[in-house]
Structure 1
Amino acid sequence: MTTSTKASASLMTMLALLSALGPFAIDMYLPAFPQMMADLNTSAASIQLTLTTFMLGMAVGQLVIGPLSDQFGRRKPLLIGALVCLAASVLCAVAPNIETLIGMRFLQGFAGAAGVVLARAIVSDSARGVHAAKQFGILMAVGGIAPVLSPLAGGGVIGFAGWRGVFWALAVLNLLMVIGSIIIVKESLPREHRSKGGVKELFASTGRVLGNRRYLGFTFAFAFAMAAMFGYISASPFVYQNILGLNPTAFSLLFALNALGITVTSIVGVRLVGTLGPLRMTYIGVSGLVVFSAGLLAVVTAGNTPLFPTLVLLFLAISSLGFIFGNAAALATDQVKKYAGTGSAMMGALQFTLAAIASPLVGLAGEESAVPMAIVMLVAGIISLLSLLALTRGGPALPAAGQAERHLETAAR
């Protein structure tokens, strides 16, 4: 797909930015919720619905755009999605009432899903095995940084331009993505490799993807690990502040530290995957998630929730996710190369569905208990491990590092 290291770096930068759109669109405007309630004269529940509809749009958009890209190629849906997302961001910025904002947030999520689902599909089209795992690792490293940077960036924009300024900033970001996609992103799925047959073939390709046992195993491992992360994200403000007694500044720093942990392990994983292979790296990450989550559950159920052990175990459990995401995503998409768009869509939709389920579960015992969070993380880790053990055995091995490099060089020519 690319012919030089420089072009490859440019492409990966562009794909990483496309993948980061979701976290920026979710987290940047969170500090402005009270301001939005007053400005739009509405309730907190209605403002929160703007977040829910965006997430729903992201899930539905991936299910629609991914399979369509298997028929029509990656570049055209990517450009259309980026342009529609740009328009939706502008309409969010000028929304006169909460009803318009809710509708435009759904459209923004639906169109923005193109960047998320097609970034993974483009990587799957262009690389295999170890090389694909490295590229997915880079995407996930950026994904670990984005949730930390976006609230900070959002706070700065809100202080200067109010909540509407956030959506203008997202519109500018979308415009840059449109320009970058036009200049940098080339078509990665040749016509002869595209599926044919219209709507009937869309359903048939979805059935073939869902019927691939190894794909399901790696996808479940990825998605349940993501559920563990979202359970932690949802509970962390209460665990750090209400239970451990830390102030908001300390919470922000510790949250950033854990996000940095995922980023570091993602980068380390990129370095090690050529030696250990993506399957072994995934097992290391999932095993770490299970062990450290079990330790966390033991600590928080023993009474008093001690500060230092809780912080250390949380850091280790969350950091282990960096070994899972990129490698599991590469292994999953490698099973359905012919239907990479559909495979990426199913993975993304399941990710958002499980995140939506995990987030409220961590609050079942109220704001003064970390036990539900630890249970959610442990159960998600165990299901992730069982999925690997039960569903991924007996398939062909991925190419070794040298074979993967030769495959990429051949594709580039």
Structure 2
Amino acid sequence: MTTAPAPEPAAVAAPGSLADRFVGGTYVRLVLVLGALSALGPLTIDTYLPALPTLTAELQATDAQAQLTLTGVLAGIGVGQLIIGPLSDAVGRRRPLLIGLLGHGLMSVLCALAPTVTMLAVTRTVQGLAGAAVSVVAMAMVRDLFTGVKAAQLLSRLVLVMGVAPILAPSLGGALLRFTSWRGIFVVLAIAAVGLVVLAAVALPETLPPERRLPARIGRSLASYRTLLSDRLFVIMVGIAGLSFATMFCYIAGSPFVLQQLYGLTPQQYGLAFGIIAAGLIGVSQINPILVRRHGPVKVLRAGIGLALLGSVITLVMAATGTGGLLGLVIPLWFVVASVGLAFPNAPAIALSRHGEAAGAAAALLGAAQFLVGGLAAPLVGALADGTAVPMTAMMVVTTGLALTLLVVGWRRMSAFQF
């Protein structure tokens, strides 16, 4: 059996002292820039959610076909990271990031012009492939600079900045629908991508110096993935991160239809409800650094997954019985999303702290698991649709239950791991 790499010491910065440049105001700017870049993914996924019912009708598609446009972008982001992660370990972080942003902008324009739901699903998939560079590079840059508790704290700050995107995105989409169609939403995304190209080019330095880069060979990339997958704790953390993301995307995929068609919310009201629920994710993520300092990432992760499962079960019961109407569904959903927010910073931080030598490949596997598992969950919610909230909430019970199972299986290894 291949021996997993020994845990790295509880360092606050990665080798090379580059992290010493990011203190005070410079650190805040780093968080804001990385957060703005990382927000492109949620904006791409969430801004058009209020338009899903009208898009479905205009393109004469079924609910499941419309949700494939969501699955396409998730799958594209997931697969793209597996390619771009090792590439960024070889050529640095900036070039893949800038090229990916440009590609995302171009695909956004093509999405706006798509004449059929099939073509939209294809262009959304390629849009996700291009946008994968943003997701994987942002995560790898964090690991280039920091590890352990410091990385978990920075990821929590990124969740704060990124959290603005899912709060504003559906509201922004609902507001845009007052003046334009769903096609106009993709034009706005194209403009955002171009703006982020300028921001990244001006404000973001290269965080992977040439002496720390790995050879750009397919064999080397496969070897990196083989090493990562031989580390059982890393695989468990990847699984937990992916299932946590799937829980979110069960909600994201199902909520436009449940809240608008079942409960009669307008696109603007849906955007407001989505924002209120997403606010729980932001609030909890900002408590996370305090909890991590006191209890460590492992215990905080356990609490988050356990609470998410409990909230999911309550949400399913409310949906199945109709108890409490809209509030009976939304209130426990708020707790599920907030609890999952504890998994987002801590599972990646635990995983990445063990593999600083291949941060790009490690971040790629994490990101791929999140988006691919989330992409599988989204169409399942649509395929099981029966006009109630039960399929969405039942899938959330499944994903949180599997995440807790992985946590139990890996608990001994996690307890022995020290930051």
TM-score (norm: length of structure 2): 0.83
> Taking structure 1 as reference, are residues 300 and 129 closer, same or farther at Cα in structure 2, changes over 3 Å only?
same
Equivalent in the alignment of 1:124? 143
Structure 1 residues 130-279: aligned runs within 5 Å? 130-196=149-215, 198-240=217-259, 245=263, 247-248=265-266, 251-279=270-298
- 1:349 equivalent to 2:365? Answer no
Equivalent in the alignment of 1:373? 392
Equivalent in the alignment of 1:61? 80
The offset of 1:63, in angstroms, is 1.3
Distance, in Å, in 1 between the alignment partners of 2:295 and 2:199 is 34
Distance, in Å, in 1 between the alignment partners of 2:330 and 2:173 is 27
Runs of 4 or more, structure 1, over 6 Å off, are: 34-38
Among candidates 61, 65, 81, match of residue 44 of structure 1? 61
Equivalent in the alignment of 2:323? 305
The offset of 1:201, in angstroms, is 0.5
Aligned-partner SS, 1:4: coil
Equivalent in the alignment of 1:20? 39
Where do 5+ consecutive residues of structure 2 fail to align?
Answer: 1-18
> Taking structure 1 as reference, are residues 299 and 3 closer, same or farther at Cα in structure 2, changes over 3 Å only?
closer
The offset of 1:207, in angstroms, is 0.9
Equivalent in the alignment of 2:355? 336
Contact 2:50–2:270 under 8 Å retained in 1: no
What is the identity percentage for the equivalent residue pairs of Structure 1 and Structure 2?
Answer: 36
* CA RMSD across the alignment: 2.9
Distance, in Å, in 1 between the alignment partners of 2:68 and 2:400 is 29
The offset of 1:160, in angstroms, is 3.4
Among candidates 377, 394, 405, match of residue 386 of structure 1? 405
Distance, in Å, in 2 between the alignment partners of 1:251 and 1:284 is 29
> Taking structure 1 as reference, are residues 260 and 198 closer, same or farther at Cα in structure 2, changes over 3 Å only?
same
Deviation digits for residues 245-290 of structure 1 (CA, Å, limit 9, x no counterpart): 4644655433322111111101111333222221121111011112
Contact 2:71–2:378 under 8 Å retained in 1: no
Residue identity matched to 2:324: P
Residue identity matched to 1:183: V
Residue identity matched to 1:381: T
The offset of 1:143, in angstroms, is 3.5
Equivalent residues, number: 394
Where do 5+ consecutive residues of structure 1 fail to align?
Answer: 400-413
The offset of 1:174, in angstroms, is 1.4
Distance, in Å, in 2 between the alignment partners of 1:284 and 1:37 is 39
Contact 2:67–2:378 under 8 Å retained in 1: no
TM-score (norm: length of structure 1): 0.84
Distance, in Å, in 2 between the alignment partners of 1:140 and 1:286 is 17
The offset of 1:185, in angstroms, is 1.4
Contact 1:15–1:115 under 8 Å retained in 2: no
Contact 1:55–1:109 under 8 Å retained in 2: yes
- 1:281 equivalent to 2:310? Answer no
